[in-house]
């Protein structure tokens, strides 16, 4: 391209470039499309866009960095539709003042926007070999909806002034196996990625989103590596949506500058929907989410060594309401959640859940979630016995008024613990379980007290022992004597008054020992019934 001073039109511009130059000055759209749908698809590599639709990247850069002044009464802006940009567009380190909007355009080479400053940048339905925008800074939006990027997007440490929109984009991996590399990125408002498709890792380590992050209906795949979404220390001030999306919506005009925000909400029963799908590991370790993390309808396709890792996340609400992963693990170790929303069918089986140190305060299951299934959930998370998950569940149930269920959970804890004990203690545990259910069913202990009282009364009715003191003794009553032996705290005036010898003495001692054991069990059970929390 011939040299030109800033703002001066170069002499060697082609006809499409002159049209673009004039449209820039008037702020109108330079439309070079063929007006035929089968010829205007920028992603159809089988169709060549010739010189009549081509402009050089150098001319585009000249307009954006040192463009001419607008026609009086107009605002200069670059708006292209159906244009092929040849050569490498490099705006690194530059400051772009005009508004930029490119629709259905095709780039021959990568776009280099490292450390570039924009007001607003919108590229809609464009074919892009690669986009390198590390440390990009925009005062307004960055829009990339329906774009297809062949070798990855890089947004490392980028700062987006309002919204980031990449809905319906298709992004393939770069030479490092990453589809989107956006570590340290900051988005002031919403991150919209509905129906996004990626092949390669989406890396958002340490990223920050000022409002909500929406990946409804997205399909994240990483056949080359361990994780499809790698986002430790991600901060989202409101809600992270990794959910299904309702597809029964009315699309916006294909010629509009921006597709509608929120193509659809989380679907209701019976609505046509597309699931959020993650083929590869998902990592949100140490993340902070101001409202919720929502997995409604999510599908995870994991290898045996891959994880849905939620270690140490903090959020008021975790909605784990998706398909059960067939392989891999769900890790909640150290996570802190106020409300856990889940279903009985959303968790993997034994060995597929890890929840050491997982703290939650409320359970809000969707659908029927019987206690037996909840106990299976805890057992699946503890292949080796650990008391903490049982105690946490019992505490939450007790706080919600489910005292009977809380006792069942603690009984299940004792039964799991019994399996780890030596043979003698294990036998004693079976005896405790069979007789008094470790004290968590006090009614059973009271029943045993009644049975032993009846048996003792019947036994001692066949024998009237001599008194210890002939001149000081109460009237002999076999039933009252048996009850006095069984109740260790209350003195009914019979115990210690009669001279029991031989087998009768051993029978009396046995009743005293059983009475102490059962009475203690009944008292402990009664105290648990009267105590909350």
The angle, 0 to 180 degrees and rounded to 10, between the axes of the packed helices 387-399 and 403-418 is 170
Compute the average pLDDT of residues 394-420.
Answer: 87
pLDDT at 280 over 70: yes
pLDDT band at 470 (very low <50, low <70, confident <90, very high): low
Residue 62 lies in a domain: yes
CATH number (domain holding residue 449): 1.10.287
What would the DSSP string read from start to end of 195-232?
A: T-EEESEEE-TT-EESS-EE-TT-EEE-TTSSEEEE-T
Query: For the chain, what is the domain count?
Result: 2
Q: How many helices (H) and strands (E) does the chain have?
A: 9, 44
Torsions phi, psi for 385 (to 5 deg): -55, 130
Alpha-carbon distance 15 to 54, whole Å?
A: 9
Contact predicate 121/77, CB 8 Å: no
Q: CA-CA distance, 190 to 237, in Å (whole number)?
A: 10
Higher-confidence residue: 480 or 372? 372
Maximum Cα–Cα distance for the chain, whole Å? Answer: 137
Angstrom distance (rounded) from CA 247 to CA 192: 16
Task: Give the domain-ending residue among 186, 211, 236.
Answer: 211
**Per-residue confidence band for 435, with pLDDT thresholds at 50, 70 and 90:** low
Q: Is residue 233 part of a domain?
A: no
In a domain, 351, yes or no: no
Write out the H or E segment, with its range, that includes residue 449: helix 442-460
| Placement of tokens 């702020």 in the chain | 27
What burial letters (b/e) apply to 23-37, b meaning 16+ CB within 10 Å? Answer: bbbbbebbbbbeeee
Look at residue 8 and tell me if it is in a domain: no
Helices (H), 466-502: 478-486
CA-based nearest residue to 421, from 404, 406, 433: 433
Torsions phi, psi for 137 (to 5 deg): -135, 120
Q: How far apart are CA 286 and CA 333, in angstroms?
A: 11
Question: Which of 40-49, 264-273, 322-331 is predicted with the least confidence, judged by mean pLDDT?
Answer: 264-273
Among 74-78, 140-144, 488-492, 520-524, which is the least confidently predicted range?
520-524
Calpha distance 328→304 (Å, rounded): 4
From 188, 211, 234, the end of a domain falls on 211
pLDDT at 287: 97
Which pLDDT tens digit goes with each residue over 292-337? 999 999 999 999 999 999 999 999 999 999 999 999 999 999 999 9
Please list the residues that pair with 107 across neighbouring strands.
Answer: 85
pLDDT category at 252 given cuts 50, 70, 90 is: very low
The three-state (H, E, C) secondary structure of 21-46, written as one string: HHHHHHCCEEECCCCCHHHCCCCCCC
| Residue that terminates a domain, selected from 211, 236, 264 | 211
What band does 481 get if pLDDT is binned at 50, 70 and 90?
confident
Which domain range does residue 504 map to? 435-531
Mean pLDDT taken over the chain: 86
- What was the pLDDT predicted at 256? 41
The SS3 assignment for 16 reads helix
If you average pLDDT over residues 473-477, what whole number do you get? 69
Report pLDDT digits (tens) over 194-239: 999 999 999 999 999 999 999 999 999 998 889 999 999 999 999 9
* Residue 61 DSSP class: H
3-class DSSP string for 82-147: CCEEECCEECCCCEECCEEEEECCEECCCEECCCCEECCEEEECCEECCEECCCCEECCCEECCCC
Q: Is there a domain that residue 156 lies in?
A: yes
User: What pLDDT is stored for residue 343 in this prediction?
Assistant: 93
Q: Is the pLDDT of residue 56 over 70?
A: yes
Q: What length is written for the chain?
A: 533
Q: What is the CA radius of gyration of the chain?
A: 37
Query: Among 64, 61, 53, which Cα is nearest to 14's?
Result: 53
Q: Give mean pLDDT, residues 389-396.
A: 91
């Amino acid at each position: 391209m011939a040299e030109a001073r800033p703002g001066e039109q170069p002499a060697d511009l082609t006809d499409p470039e002159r049209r673009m130059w004039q449209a820039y000055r008037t702020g109108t759209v330079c439309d070079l499309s063929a007006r035929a749908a089968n010829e205007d698809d920028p992603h159809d590599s089988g169709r060549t866009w010739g010189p009549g639709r081509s402009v050089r990247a150098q001319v585009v850069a000249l307009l954006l960095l040192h463009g001419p002044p607008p026609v009086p009464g107009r605002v200069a802006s670059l708006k292209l539709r159906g244009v092929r940009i040849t050569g490498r567009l490099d705006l690194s380190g530059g400051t772009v003042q005009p508004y930029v909007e490119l629709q259905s355009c095709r780039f021959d080479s990568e776009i280099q926007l490292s450390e570039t400053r924009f007001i607003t940048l919108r590229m809609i339905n464009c074919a892009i070999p690669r986009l390198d925008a590390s440390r990009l800074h925009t005062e307004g939006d960055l829009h990339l909806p329906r774009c297809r990027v062949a070798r990855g997007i890089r947004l490392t440490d980028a700062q987006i002034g309002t919204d980031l929109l990449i809905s319906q984009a298709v992004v393939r991996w770069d030479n490092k196996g990453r589809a989107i590399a956006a570590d340290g990125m900051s988005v002031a408002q919403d991150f919209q990625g509905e129906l996004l498709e990626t092949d390669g890792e989406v890396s958002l380590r340490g990223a920050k989103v000022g409002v909500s992050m929406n990946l409804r209906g997205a399909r994240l795949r990483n056949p080359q590596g361990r994780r499809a979404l790698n986002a430790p220390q991600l901060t989202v001030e409101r809600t992270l949506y990794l959910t299904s999306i309702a597809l029964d919506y009315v699309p916006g005009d294909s010629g509009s500058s921006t597709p509608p925000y929120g193509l659809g909400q989380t679907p209701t029963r019976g609505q046509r929907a597309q699931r959020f799908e993650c083929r590869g590991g998902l990592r949100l370790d140490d993340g902070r989410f101001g409202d919720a993390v929502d997995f409604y309808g999510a599908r995870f396709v994991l290898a045996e060594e891959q994880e849905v890792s939620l270690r140490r996340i903090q959020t008021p609400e975790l909605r784990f309401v998706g398909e059960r992963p067939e392989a891999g693990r769900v890790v909640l170790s150290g996570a802190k959640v106020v409300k856990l929303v889940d279903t009985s069918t959303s968790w993997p089986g034994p060995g597929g859940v890890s929840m050491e140190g997982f703290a939650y305060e409320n359970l809000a299951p969707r659908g029927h979630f019987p206690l037996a299934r909840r106990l299976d959930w805890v057992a699946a998370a503890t292949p080796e016995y650990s008391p903490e998950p049982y105690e946490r569940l019992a505490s939450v149930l007790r706080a919600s008024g489910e005292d009977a269920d809380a006792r069942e959970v603690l009984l299940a804890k004792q039964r799991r613990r019994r399996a780890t004990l030596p043979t003698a203690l294990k036998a004693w545990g079976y005896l405790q379980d069979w007789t008094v259910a470790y004290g968590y069913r006090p009614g059973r202990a009271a029943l045993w007290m009644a049975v032993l009282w009846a048996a003792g009364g019947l036994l001692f009715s066949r024998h009237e022992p001599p008194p210890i003191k002939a001149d000081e003794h109460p009237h002999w009553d076999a039933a009252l004597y048996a009850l006095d032996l069984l109740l260790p705290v209350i003195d009914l005036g019979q115990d210690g008054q009669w001279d029991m010898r031989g087998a009768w003495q051993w029978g009396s001692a046995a009743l005293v020992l059983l009475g102490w054991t059962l009475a203690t069990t009944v008292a402990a059970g009664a105290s648990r019934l009267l105590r909350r929390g």
